[in-house]
Chain A
Amino acid sequence: MKRKRFSLSFLTRLFLVSACACLLAAALFSCIDEDSYDTDPAGNFEALWRLMDEHYCFFEYKQVDWDSVHSVYASRIRSDMDNYALFDTLAAMLAELRDGHVNLYAAHDMGRYWAWYEDYPTNFYEDLQRHYLGTDYRIAGNIKYTILTPDSIGYMYCPSFSSGFGDSNVDEVLYYFRSCRGLILDMRSNSGGMLTYAERLASHFWNNRYLAGYIRHKTGPGHGDFSDPEPIYVDPADGMIWLRPVMLLTNRRVYSAANWFVSMVRHLPHVVQIGDSTGGGSGLPFSSELPNGWKVRFSASPMLDAGGNQAEFGVPPHMRVNVIPEVDFQRGGDNIIEAARVRLEQYFAGGSQLKPGGLEALEE
């Protein structure tokens, strides 16, 4: 029996050629897989070193020679070391970065660098604060607030940005202070939390859109691979806006999102930062992990203040004042709060400018 002649149309041939080309391309580019590391001490060390090498954002700013760090700590890795010794070695390597946002988490411990506040005066004691808050203060969200007498100064304490407060909470606080001439905004020992809470609070302190700072992100694994700084603006809140003098109290334990809040609002002309420098922590942290399951946190995305300055090591105050425990506990007063009240009183009396050295220009 004669077989039918087999022929393909042009369209069919085009389809077949296209299909073969696609399948070939698929084979060439098919596998996107992880970089494999052993789960032994050397494998975990190399994984951690490389993770930080490619993602950590402050190598150049802090002038850390990460290659030499590798040399130093690789020599301490032994194949027979137990998990505790490995953890301590890896945590010590991370501490070379001098960054409170860098942590190593295992079931038995958390590797950390806390010298950013441990090496400095505390400058905040709840027992001293109680002299001002008393016991009948109000709480809106997590904000504790009251009116100090007899000088009619509002006092609000924001201990954290981890637990939330809404615009309505801030509105209520500021409305309560409507008869006050000035405000003491106590951020001491606020170790941060959500950036959005910081920006929400900052939106109640100026009635126009203002430049709060900049953010950059890494664009590649190189130590200098960064995007251009992108401006961050704060839009005024829809509710209450506070434009009277603000004494912003800070200590070294003001960190991360709280540090960001301070760097945003301290440039406003009616805000004076009093106390100690903040602790810093201006890198937005990311999380990752090692082959053995230990978690890692690290600064991934630097945030700059409105002047384009790094705040990783803290924001200095306009007026440096310390709590003097031996004196303050004796007299029953907080030296930083008292300094803020005196400053406000002098300003209201017309005896001084609000900020030392005059008003800072607000960058729009």
Chain B
Amino acid sequence: MRLPLLSFLLFLLLLPGLPLRAQTDSLRTPATGEALSLSLASRVRERCSSFGVGGADVFDTYLSPQAYSGIELRFMRQAGDAPYESSRRWLRQTHFEAFVSRTGHPSEDNTDLSFLAEWRWGLLHRLPLGLPSSVQVLLGGQVYGEGGVIYNLANGNNPAAMKLGAGAGLAAQASWRFRIKPMAREFMLRYQYFMPLAGLFFSPHYGQSYYEIFSLGHSSGVVHFSWPGNKPAFWNHLSLDVPLGRRAVLRLSYVADIRQSSVENLKYHNWSHAFMVGLVHKFVRL
């Protein structure tokens, strides 16, 4: 009797996109058994794909001494251990983000097109702060890799600034799960933070052309060590998970993405923010 029941529960848990609410209820059913519940709970994952639109302020002195501002479109995909449902003390998180922006000179006489993608993976530890179970604070680290380009439509021999980097940084997360009566399912408010601490990134020398770097191969010294002093960056993400009906979970979020560097007397910043909408899927990976 127990084996068919377990098989049935496993089948349900493996269905892609199945809301975790139903899964955790099942996991908590005494019929599943304590050992199985813990085992499965350690594998509860969630993933969310979000799309958003916002504003961007792009500044790169390799291209122009002026800051450009405009619109940005952003895609973000987060996956990892579900913070409340997973029983792990160290939560794994994978993060992918990409955005494109079209920004203009204040005089509206010139345009920058920007694209940047970033991938991150890391572990976050639950801090035993003695807070209520509905509140969690996590702290950890992530490794990252990023790549992109800013293309200036008017420039001649310096039309683009390439952005490449990799390294590791500090990741933090605070979340609060709460219920709004008379709704049965819970909301989750979460704040996530990431800050690169050390790594390597690409930058040409002050007046060096990409022709010299790539056509002539004079690439000595274009890879720099990054730290918050020359590449201060902060990624902030505030999200609200809103349960819809019996299964779906809608994630409304706001991301403020501060990317900057100052090296070789070249200054760069990409300050952007976006409002995003996504759907959360929770599942168990066996």
Contact = CB atoms under 8 A, between A and B. Distances in A.
B264 interface: yes
Interface residues of B, number: 54
Interface in B117-175: 125, 127-130, 139-140, 152, 154-159, 170, 172
Nearest to A32: B260
Contact of B65 (A51, A196, A294): A51
B25 interface: no
Contact of A221 (B206, B211, B228, B258): B206
Contacts of A23: 195
A34 B265 contact: no
B211 A284 contact: yes
B216 A230 contact: yes
A290 B13 CA distance: 60
Of the listed residues A232, A288, A297, the one surrounded by the most CB atoms of chain B closer than 10 A to its CB is: A288
A196 B156 CA distance: 14
B18 interface: no
A26 B234 contact: yes
Contacts of A47: 65
Given A230-B218, A286-B156, A33 B269 contact: yes
Contacts of A221: 206, 265
Contacts of B195: 22-23, 26
A15 interface: yes
Interface of A, helix, strand, loop or mixed by DSSP: mixed
Contacts of A19: 139, 170, 172
Contacts of B107: 39, 291-293
B262 interface: yes
A302 B205 CA distance: 14
A4 interface: yes
Contact of B207 (A12, A16, A30, A218): A218
Contacts of B207: 55, 57, 217-219, 286, 300-301
Interface residues of A, number: 52
Most buried by A among B157, B158, B262, B265: B157
A135 B195 CA distance: 68
Contacts of A6: 129-130
Interface string B216-243: 1010000000001100101000000000
A287 B158 contact: yes
A284 B65 CA distance: 19
A18 interface: yes
A29 interface: yes
Contacts of B268: 32
B269 A219 contact: no
A215 B216 contact: yes
B272 interface: no
Nearest to A199: B215
B29 interface: no
A346 interface: no
A314 B107 CA distance: 37
Contacts of A35: 65
A68 B266 CA distance: 27
A25 B105 contact: no
Given A225-B206, A289-B64, A215 B130 contact: no
Interface in A72-126: none
B105 A219 contact: no
Contacts of B154: 287, 289, 295
A195 interface: yes
A8 B109 CA distance: 57
B206 A289 contact: no
Contacts of A182: none
Contacts of A34: 59, 61, 65-67, 267
Interface string B244-260: 00000000000000101
Contacts of A286: 155-158, 207, 209
B209 A301 contact: yes
Contacts of A51: 65
Tell me which of B155, B159, B208, B229 has the highest count of chain A C-beta atoms within 10 A of its own C-beta. B208
Interface of A: 4, 6, 8-9, 11-12, 15-16, 18-19, 22-23, 25-26, 29-35, 39, 47, 51, 55, 57, 195-196, 215, 217-221, 225, 227, 230, 232, 284-289, 291-295, 297, 300-301
Given A286-B209, A292-B107, 17 more contacts: A15-B127, A18-B170, A19-B172, A26-B195, A32-B262, A33-B267, A34-B66, A39-B106, A55-B207, A285-B156, A287-B154, A288-B63, A288-B155, A289-B65, A289-B66, A289-B109, A301-B212
30 contacts: A15-B140, A19-B139, A19-B172, A22-B195, A23-B195, A25-B228, A29-B232, A32-B267, A32-B269, A33-B67, A34-B59, A39-B107, A57-B207, A215-B216, A217-B205, A219-B205, A220-B265, A221-B206, A225-B206, A284-B157, A287-B155, A288-B63, A288-B64, A289-B105, A291-B66, A291-B106, A292-B107, A300-B157, A300-B209, A301-B207
